[in-house]
Chain A
């Protein structure tokens, strides 16, 4: 029952939402609205599961004085502090919560994202070597696109035209092929989930 009930629920709701796509009636729209409301509620509840799991993980590491336990303590204190600040003083513009959001969280996240520039340069230096014919093609298209789209070459006709041609033709063709493949893979997995063939998400046997 523990495994069969979720499979039955998954099948029933999968078929209902599939059927709903073809039925334009008011009843069908109401069913869709009701199910999407519940999906949002369940998703929000999952966040609570995550927070509890996070607290538990870090609390265990603190209690055991594991390596770097001080950082686990900082994590828990930061989480509790931000939540407290948000509930106590609100999160509207000018609040302490938004100050922390604008002047600590945003710059920290942006800094980590900006590391990507360095990693791209390092990967390009190492990875774009003309070892064979395919690598030469990759290299040439990379140079044309980088120069012709995002750099000074954008204003120089031959480069920008070649770059746009590469993006709109071979690149788009390859991307469409991958889209179709991924789409079919998605359909296959989704069908398996709805039909109960795929049960990984249920976890333990």
Chain B
């Protein structure tokens, strides 16, 4: 009886193990149809149990399982029990197997396939981003529409923008020019777009007061846009003839060449007011300190938190963080623009709520909430 039981047990182990190793294929999720996932059971297979090799060859055949070529090595220590074959061609059929060969043994696993990789048309791992965009779009769209219907939104006073009139008036009284700089950003940057909005308002005010305006630029496209914006400002103020495009010019795209040029302009022209709105880098303190040394009133705003700190030390007024982006709505009063500001304000409330929830859950080591915001 014992012998019978042992024999049954041995046969179970023998056949159970020999059918437990299986190579199978799956489509790689959320890709462009050029990847296949190859999965297998634990290694070693029964046939190689006594050898227990360190590495196996992972092989591939295309269109027919006749000619297999090695793709990569599979290591015994690899606990993922899978590999990804990349850079495949869509529409073709693939076959895979694992193999091992030495002087005494040749082993091949079952052939997995035929299998064609499929391209996906939606990345599920980015659903959280899509939800975020939809919420953002809905909120911003709602407030834009509400603004268009005539609703007046409250914007708290921003000291730097309130002081803009005073700064321009000061320059007019002193008979000195105003220097405007939009920093180093190209026209793609939201900070540069925000700067052009502010510049439009400044140009309109300056046109009505007849104050000279100097705007040296670091980017050729920004120069072209600034010239058009200023021309429009002067036209709106009713003084199109006063506009001088030579005062808005491209200097250089070199960082410190630009800083040196603007410093030179400050020391020669002695502007009464310096306005720095845009993307600034290391040259920010060079510009601000030189402006300080000539006694100009300085108002600055940048999207860089680092340079903001330098501006705070050296300038009279600074727009902090998104106050720069709020400036266009603040100055123009355009209900659509103000609507987007309100939308982003309410988004901030949502973000704060999510941060509080995430922090509270993290205290109890519950990280699933944080993982909801991971993208792939």
Contacts and interface: CB of A to CB of B under 8 A. Distances in A.
Given A24-B30, A197-B337, A182 B197 contact: no
29 contacts: A23-B121, A28-B32, A54-B220, A54-B249, A61-B246, A109-B254, A112-B256, A115-B286, A116-B285, A116-B286, A119-B290, A174-B305, A175-B305, A178-B320, A182-B305, A185-B324, A185-B344, A186-B303, A188-B325, A188-B340, A191-B340, A193-B193, A197-B336, A200-B225, A201-B196, A201-B225, A203-B228, A203-B231, A204-B228
A87 B157 CA distance: 55
A181 B255 CA distance: 26
A198 B282 contact: no
A184 B351 CA distance: 10
Nearest to A196: B336
B348 interface: yes
A188 to B, nearest CB: 4
B275 interface: no
Interface string B333-364: 00011001101100110010000000000000
Nearest to B343: A188
Interface string A77-120: 00000000000000000000000000000001100110110011
Nearest to B327: A185
B259 A112 contact: yes
Contacts of B320: 178
B219 A50 contact: yes
A25 B121 CA distance: 6
A53 B249 contact: yes
Contacts of B229: 200, 203
B31 interface: yes
Contact of A189 (B33, B122, B190): B190
Contacts of A186: 190, 303, 325
A191 B139 CA distance: 12
A122 B310 CA distance: 12
Interface residues of A, number: 63
Given A178-B305, A205-B232, A23 B347 contact: no
A177 B308 CA distance: 14
Interface residues of B, number: 81
Contacts of B90: 26
Contacts of B305: 174-175, 178-179, 182
A112 B286 contact: yes
A180 B252 CA distance: 32
Given A50-B253, A182-B303, 19 more contacts: A18-B133, A24-B123, A25-B121, A26-B33, A26-B90, A26-B119, A53-B249, A54-B249, A109-B254, A123-B288, A123-B313, A174-B305, A184-B322, A185-B326, A186-B303, A191-B137, A200-B193, A200-B229, A204-B231
Nearest to A175: B305
A49 interface: yes
Interface-central residue, A46, A127, A179, A188, by most chain B CB under 10 Å = A188
B374 to A, nearest CB: 16
Contacts of B194: 185, 189
A5 interface: no
Interface in B127-176: 129-130, 133, 136-137, 140, 144
Contact of A185 (B137, B190, B268): B190
A184 B347 contact: yes
A61 B251 CA distance: 13
A190 interface: yes
A65 interface: no
A171 to B, nearest CB: 10
Interface in B184-209: 186-187, 190, 193-194, 196-197, 200
Interface-central residue, A50, A57, A197, by most chain B CB under 10 Å = A50
B129 A53 contact: no
Question: Which DSSP category, helix, strand, loop or mixed, fits chain A's interface?
Answer: helix
A151 interface: no
A33 B133 CA distance: 23
Contacts of A174: 305
Contacts of B116: none
Given A112-B259, A127-B313, A189 B220 contact: no
A200 B254 contact: no
A109 B256 contact: yes
B126 interface: yes
B250 A180 contact: no
A144 to B, nearest CB: 16
A159 B308 CA distance: 26
Contacts of B220: 46-47, 49-51, 53-54
B32 A53 contact: no
Given A54-B250, A119-B289, A198 B193 contact: yes
A29 interface: yes
A43 B372 CA distance: 37
Contact of B314 (A112, A127, A175, A202): A127
The 4 closest A-B pairs by CB, nearest first: A50-B220, A203-B228, A185-B325, A185-B322
B298 interface: no
A181 B348 contact: yes
A200 B121 contact: no
Nearest to A113: B256
B370 interface: no
A181 B343 contact: no
A202 B197 CA distance: 11
